[in-house]
Amino acid sequence: MVSKLDFTLQPGQSLKQRFMTENISPRVSIITPFYNTLEHFEQMYNSVLNQTFPWFEWIIVDDGSTDQKALEQLERLAAQDQRITVYHVENGGPAMARNYGVEQATTDYIVFIDSDDMVEPVFLECLYLALQLNPKASWAYSDIVTIGVREFLWKKDFSSAMMKRENLLTVMAMIRRSAFDDVGGFDVMGRYYNEDWHMWLKLLSKGHFPVHIEQYLAWYRNGEKGAMSALDNDDSLVQKNQEKIREISEKVPDDIFAVTYHANKWKLFEDLSPWDFATPLPFAKKKKRILYIIPHIVMGGADKFNLDLISLSDPEEFEFVVVTTLNNQNEWIEKLEPFVSDLFVLPTMMDKRYWPEFFDYIIRTRQIDVVFNTNSYYAYYAMPWLHLQHPEVAFVDYIHMEEWYYRNGGFARPSGAIGMFLDKTYTCNSETGRVLYEHFHRNKDSVETVYIGVDEEKFSPDNASLADIPKEIRDKIAGRTTVLFPCRICAQKRPFLMLEIAKKAKDCVFLVVGDGGQSAELEQQIAKDNLSDRVWMVGRKSDLRPWYLLADVTLVCSLKEGLSLTAYESLAMGTPVITSDVGGQAELVCDKVGRVLPLMQDESKDEDKRDFAQEEIDQYVHAIYELTKDFAYYQQVASACRPHVQNGFTVNNMVTRMKEIFEELTTQESIAARVKKMEELKKVEPMTEALCDIWGSFEEMDATVQYFVGQYHMIMSNYQTAQASLDAIHKSRAHKVAFGYQKMVNESFLSNIRGFLGKIKRAVKKS
């Protein structure tokens, strides 16, 4: 779905069979030319049948195959689904086979997928919605993952001018039947030529344009024996192909572009109403279905909670639909994909104006029981309107912490503002719950703490090895007190306070594990402060267990935390934690397993402060020495860490409680109470649409501010980098030599030399 780094995580590796497919009324026709495809067809078949959009017919055109085993496999698989029809024709090439398939199609939308390619589960649904919401567009396509002989990602901005020079697309796309017929389909010019490129150019020549969904939803397989290989290896075919492409390119204007959403220009919400094509899906099994709204899927405690809850919930009881409301921040999305078929990155799919209706569409099509929001600011604005449309559905949120420096309260503020429309709010610590009802006027009964917890089986000293740490690091720290600083390197985690602590704890080694926006600046400061022999940035690690095992203590000196995932993990590994007293840290960490130290900085006024109170620095240094200097005492604290976590802070406890919560929210009694409450709130429905407009106006303004803030930080970063480079030059031997030479040859120096030589000359003459 995003920049795939693991090309082995391919769709279609198993068949899920989620739907009852009898009596399907198709809205889309999939066309597949088939020719002797044996090795990869079953995986392709699975990827098509695993689509989240089941309203299709699948027309497979056997193009005169001669491989009996391939034909037997085709017939066997096709017989298993009533949506599939196989036609056998004489061999005429893929263009002819596709045209024949379109002639048999009964719908207004045509999708081409070759017999050895694959598609992500949401491929059909995303493209169908793209064309529904862009009635003037003629086709929709996504970015491509290419596998086979070469593996790479294919994503380029679209323009007709570029298309005349290079084919930016594969054949995998959804095309309106009317547009396909308008250009006469594929030109048949023999078996091998760029028939798909030629057809895109024909469409462009008549003014047709596409919608570009900027997600990697299609998997294209290239191979040495494919049609394009045959074309590339035959000079006469290459020349003939180039002539045909050149001929149609002359008819294509240069000013046609694709509809894209990466800019997401704002449009007001007007007359929000459900889409008439939101038909309930024909699920084969009854399950509790949860719409899970999150901003992104990145490394961190909040998203680890999301991953744990979804991956560890019983798939026979619960099914999750995940929607992210931010783009280009989904590095963990691959971890979620094995457990979720319905995974949508909303900013790449449609204009924000349609987002409330999209959520409404998901609730209707998936027959959602619970809408669950965690950390999506947008969702808070949309939830009141959605709840009035679906009074029987439970609407809840989960908050990890309040943040006074972020919109004066973080996500706790909008949760309080729309509290009347929320059935329950869950927090990862009781301190955040207290803030909700004391500062944001939430009813105490509507707030509950559910600790995130840790996988105590995975995070166990028995499941980690110091051999996984580079020997160079192990040798360097041997016999020295080691402090682990594992986090995202950003202002909230106060990495520059860590440096001040390191300056005073002179016999300790500090290992910084992680990366982030302040990584480069932190590295420069380490060098400037001559701490490179004791503070080492080892980068981001996918497995922190060996690093916890290596460390004597874990340091969490954050300005803000909910309840730190690293604190859970460290204690489970038997490593004491020293933490700032923020969020719910004191609910997990105590003197028995570490130290909790007062925060001496106003989080609401200065997030990225660099001049820290000496008293605050000293208390961390004192805590490190207090825990580690007496070995017997240290052993006592370390041995208490793991039992402390096992007694109430495990991920299994969290999953068990969340299962109970989902069941409580969906009882008939709960549903009846919600419906009654929403009837009373119906009078404020006009306000709920206005909230969406307010969100739009605010986000647009905030985006502008953030842009200028980003420009400022970029300029300052460039300035600091340039200044550091200049300082390094001034200290270099080459600079000193050059400066000395410059001084030597300046005008006054040369004048003195000339005067001195003149004196010698006159003295010689006199003698």
CB 141 within 8 A of CB 172: yes
Helix (H, G, I), strand (E, B) or coil at 218: strand
User: How high is the pLDDT of residue 2?
Assistant: 46
Which of the four pLDDT bands, split at 50, 70 and 90, describes residue 723? low
Query: Which whole number is the average pLDDT over 758-766?
Result: 66
User: How high is the pLDDT of residue 755?
Assistant: 65
**pLDDT at position 188 over 80:** yes
Which region among 22-31, 85-94, 115-124, 231-240 has the lowest average model confidence (pLDDT)? 231-240
CATH superfamily name and code, 28-249:
Spore Coat Polysaccharide Biosynthesis Protein SpsA; Chain A (3.90.550.10)
Query: Which whole number is the average pLDDT over 4-19?
Result: 88
| pLDDT tens-digit series, residues 275-287 | 999 999 999 999 9
CATH of domain 288-453+655-693: 3.40.50.2000
Which of the four pLDDT bands, split at 50, 70 and 90, describes residue 356? very high
User: How high is the pLDDT of residue 408?
Assistant: 80
Query: Which whole number is the average pLDDT over 8-21?
Result: 93
Integer Cα distance of 538 and 402 in angstroms: 30
Which of the four pLDDT bands, split at 50, 70 and 90, describes residue 3? very low
Which of the four pLDDT bands, split at 50, 70 and 90, describes residue 335? confident
DSSP string, 422-449: -SEEEESSHHHHHHHHHHS---GGGEEE
563 residue type, one letter: L
Handedness of CA 586, 590, 595, 597 (dihedral sign): positive
| pLDDT tens-digit series, residues 465-521 | 999 999 999 998 888 999 999 998 999 999 999 999 999 999 999 999 999 889 999
Please report, rounded to a whole number, the percentage of residues in the chain having pLDDT higher than 90. Answer: 69
CB 422 within 8 A of CB 395: yes
Integer Cα distance of 371 and 377 in angstroms: 14
Other beta carbons within 10 angstroms of residue 100's beta carbon come to 18
User: How high is the pLDDT of residue 9?
Assistant: 87
User: How high is the pLDDT of residue 761?
Assistant: 64
Contacts of 595 (CB under 8 A, 6+ apart): 576, 577, 578, 579, 589, 623, 626, 627
User: How high is the pLDDT of residue 511?
Assistant: 96
**pLDDT at position 228 over 70:** no
Integer Cα distance of 149 and 172 in angstroms: 19
CB 553 within 8 A of CB 598: no
CA distances from 221 to 44, 58, 184, 196, 245 (A): 11, 20, 27, 15, 23
| pLDDT tens-digit series, residues 409-459 | 889 899 998 999 999 999 988 989 999 999 998 999 999 999 999 999 999
CB 122 within 8 A of CB 128: no
Query: Which whole number is the average pLDDT over 684-699?
Result: 72
Please say whether the structural domain 479-649 has been given the CATH code 3.40.50.150. Answer: no
Which of the four pLDDT bands, split at 50, 70 and 90, describes residue 248? very high
Residue with the larger pLDDT of the pair 77 and 6 = 77
Per-chain mean pLDDT for the chain: 88
Query: Which whole number is the average pLDDT over 744-763?
Result: 60
Please report, rounded to a whole number, the percentage of residues in the chain having pLDDT higher than 70. Answer: 85
User: How high is the pLDDT of residue 610?
Assistant: 87
Residue with the larger pLDDT of the pair 750 and 111 = 111
